[in-house]
Each structure stands twice: as structure tokens, then as C-alpha cells.
Amino acid sequence: MNPIKHVIDKGLSGLQVDSLRMNQILSKAKGGEPVKRKLPLVLVAALVALSIALTAAAATLLWEHYVLEMKQKEKSQGAYVTWPVDDKVALVKNLSEMGYIEESEQVKTLLSQATPEEEKGALADQLMLALTGQKDVREIYSDLITYALLGPEDFWTSAQRVWWTHAINSVRDTSQDPDELVLPLGHEVPEAEAIEIARAAIIQVFEMAPGALDQAQPVADLYTTKARPDYRRWMVQFKFYKEGTSTWTERVYFTVVDEKGEVIADPDVGTPSLEEMAASYKELEALKKASKPPIIQTYINYVEQENYAPFWDWSLEAKAAFSREIRPMMAQAEKQGELKQYFTQEGRVIAGGNLSLYTAFAYGLPGPEDIPQDAALEKAKQALVDACGASRQSLEEAASVFVYFDVTDPEKPLWKFFFGPNWVEEMAPGKAYRAQVDARNGEIVLSEALNWKELKGDDLRRF
């Protein structure tokens, strides 16, 4: 089954959506064919509304086809930032023709043969940054563009999420995936009914008040698993977002409703029963309300201060302040044999595991006798090029650059840098790089290449 064709047939039945027809729709919507006789005002308004709806639908369908090509281009050529100017111009041109980018003077200049190549590249970047709302060209890729055009994924139809999953899977290895999103065949319990079944079950098992999930966004996806490919199930989620956002999920309740309308646990994808989840939730709520040891509360304070960003993304100032405050507390707790209290009975880390990694080294701030960060970064890049065969371009375009100032040995402070691959490279066994620079004399202490796919979370923290 072709999921894209199914979406087209289902969403616009009776509308021929080949490329010619799509362009005709867009042309008419933009005033390409004038109305030749007067029509009643109500009918004109209805036609305008229909024209707008068809324009939006056709533009969406055009992008759904085009993004597949873009993903293949990202896989073969790299992220947008690395593309030749002609390819960047072609992307903007297509988005403009679809109606997503206004046909402004900037676009006209971009498409003019008289415009110099360098200026075209800069214009294309400006237009794509404006479209996606980003500040760094390195952050532009097909996923981000899709979300900018279609909105947050949770608010799409389930059919759109099936299409999107197939689009993503077209450029990645799916051999280890336990499940796959699918379109309904007709014999399953309908999506709307599955949502209401899940809502009632969650409210009952979690002992909620009626209407407790009314403000949540329901998200339902039909799936099968490799273990049971003929058994269809709805994963139904109820998501609460941080106030003022539509992507920052603060709380979510979920369960599985099978094709017959039964609420089930699904070991195929690791989803426990509602009863198990409710018990865990109560335990977690009790843990949150309980008084916390000073170490844990200090850690939580910094996490909140840094807007829940991972430790490696904290500013140098935050890492230094955290290190000065928490390391003596950790040393004292370890001396008194109290670190074990930061783990649950099952051995699952609450915070102690992270803290032991984040406090393995002492972090501080450079002084007047230390080389500046920019100079150290330049030395690190050159060392990785010379000693590890890294390309200058890959280092300049690295999506993730983690920076630490290590003062564990105050007589020999170190600048530490980690370069992570960009999004496209993450789909393959790409390289990551690590370098350490003596902050006093600028000598290279360490330079090494790492296999990105073999790295674990702890490797990103242990610096």
C-alpha cells in the first residue's frame, strides 16, 4: 500500500492531484483565472473558502512528495548548509511555488539570472531562516521545514503521521524497529472510538475526576509489530503542554487499545498495563512530594535554572557554579556512605548516576592567564584535522559542540571540546571528535575520533 496515495485519495477524493492539476489549483487560487460573470456574494465567499482550502491541501500534498526527494538529498549530499547554491535556490523556488514562501522582492532577486552566486546563497539562507524561525543555517533540515509548514506533529492527522514515518524510514535502517505505523483497513475500532475508550479507562484506573483529560491533546496512532504483524493496535496518548506552547510536553497519559476495542498491555513495544502505570505514577508523585536531600535539591535547582537543558549544554558559568557547590557535597556524601540513597530499590538512577558523572571533574572559568575559548577552539579544530583526518567543514558545521573548562588540576586547566555530527550524519556511522587543549600554553593534550553510533549517553557526560 502506498501511504501517500492513500492520504491523497482519502483527503481529496474526486480531485486529480497530478502535478499539472496541483499547479492549476495554485494558479487559480492566486488569481490566475478571472471570474467572467457576477456571482451571488454568498457563493463567492464559499468559492473563496473552498479555493483557500484546496490551495492549502494541494500545497501540503506537493510538500509531502517533495520532502521525500529532500531526504534522499540530505542522505547523499548532507544537510542544507552544505548544499550548492543552485540546490538551495531550487528549494526556495519550489517552496515559493507551493505558496509557503511569499513571492517577495527577495525571491525575485534570488531567481534573477543577474544576481551573483554568492548573493543568491545568502538570500536563500535568509529566506529559509525566516521560514523555519531559526537563527543558524546549520539547523535547517527537512524535518524542521516540515514542522514549520505543517505545524507540530501531535496536531496532524494519524494518516499524516503514517506518511511522515514512511518518509523518515526511507533514509534509515528499520531492521531493529519493533513496530510500524499503518493506515486503517476498516475492520479495526475507529480512531475516535479508540480515543474515547482510552480516555475512559485512564480516568477510571488513575482515579481522575470526570473531564480531567478534556484539556489534553489526544494523539492516536495505529500500529502493528513484527512479533504480531496481523494484530492492529492504537497507541493513544493524552498530552498536556507547557502553558503557551504546543510542543513542550509536561505530562502525558497513554495506553493501547487493540483492534477489537480492548485496553491492553503490549509487551511487543514495552507498554505496561494501565494498572502498572498508575502504581508507578503514585510512587513518583509521592517521591516528588517527599523532602529531598540537599544534594538532589541543589541539582534540581540548577536543572530548572538552565531550563532543563542537558548538562553539556549548560553555560560555562552554570557548570562552574554547579561544580563549586555540588562537588564538596558529593565528596562528603561519599565519605559517609550516603550516595546509595540516590538510587531506587530497583537500581534505577534518580539523580545519583548523573551527579557522579557531572562531578567527576571540577569545572571553572578561564582567568587572565588562560588562552581565550575562541583561540583554544581553533587549536582543537586544527589538531583534529591534522591528527584525526577530520574535515574542516565537518567541524565548522558540527551540530553539537560541547565546551568545558576543567580545573580539576588548578595548575593545568584544560579546555575540553566535543564535536557531534549533524542530523544527517547521525543516520550513518558518522564520526564525532574530542579534543583537549592546555589552557596555559595552548598545547594539545588529547585529540581523537569517535564512532558516533557506538557512543552512549555516559560518554557525552564524562568529560
Amino acid at 96: S
Structural domain boundaries in the chain:
3-152, 173-288, 291-358, 373-461
Residue 447 has pLDDT above 80, yes or no: yes
> Taking a C-beta distance cutoff of 8 angstroms, is the pair 29, 51 a contact?
yes
Spatial strand order in the sheet of 414-420: 400-406, 414-420, 431-438, 444-451
- pLDDT tens-digit series, residues 326-381: 999 988 888 887 776 665 433 334 555 567 778 889 999 999 999 999 999 999 99
Give tens-digit pLDDT for 420-429. 765 444 434 4
pLDDT for res 399: 65
pLDDT at 2 over 60: no
Residues 154-173, mean pLDDT to the nearest whole number: 94
- Of 197 and 454, which is predicted with more confidence? 197
Query: What is the distance between the alpha carbons of residues 230 and 261, in angstroms, rounded to a whole number?
Result: 16
Other C-beta atoms lying within 10 Å of the C-beta of residue 211: 9
The predicted-structure confidence for 394-403, as pLDDT tens digits, reads as follows: 787 776 789 9
Alpha carbon of residue 172 to chain centroid: 16
pLDDT at residue 57 greater than cutoff 70: no
- pLDDT of residue 7 exceeding 50, the answer is no
* Residue of higher predicted confidence among 10 and 241: 241
**pLDDT tens track for 309-324:** 888 889 999 999 999 9
Give the pLDDT band (50/70/90) at residue 123. Answer: very high
Name the DSSP letter for residue 428.
T
Residues above pLDDT 70, as percent of the chain: 78
Mean pLDDT over residues 126-134, rounded?
95
Name the one residue in this structure whose C-alpha cell is 505505523: 181
Report the alpha-carbon distance of residue 191 to residue 197 in Å, rounded: 10
Structure confidence at residue 341 (pLDDT): 61
Between 187 and 458, the higher pLDDT residue:
187
> Which helix (DSSP H) or strand (DSSP E) does residue 202 occupy?
helix 191-205
DSSP structural state of residue 247:
S
Task: Name the E strands within 113-169.
Answer: none
Q: Which of 48-62, 270-284, 319-333 is predicted with the least confidence, judged by mean pLDDT?
A: 48-62
User: CA-CA distance, 405 to 415, in Å (whole number)?
Assistant: 5
Residue 263 pLDDT more than 60?
yes
pLDDT of residue 198: 98
Give yes or no for residue 71 having a pLDDT over 80.
yes
pLDDT of residue 319: 96
Q: DSSP class of residue 343? A: B
Q: Which of the four pLDDT bands, split at 50, 70 and 90, describes residue 91?
A: very high
Q: Give the largest CA-CA distance in the chain.
A: 90
Among 34-43, 129-138, 141-150, 409-418, the minimum mean pLDDT is found in 34-43
**pLDDT value at residue 360:** 87
**Which grid cell sits at 156?**
496532524
**Cα 333 from Cα 376, distance rounded (Å):** 35
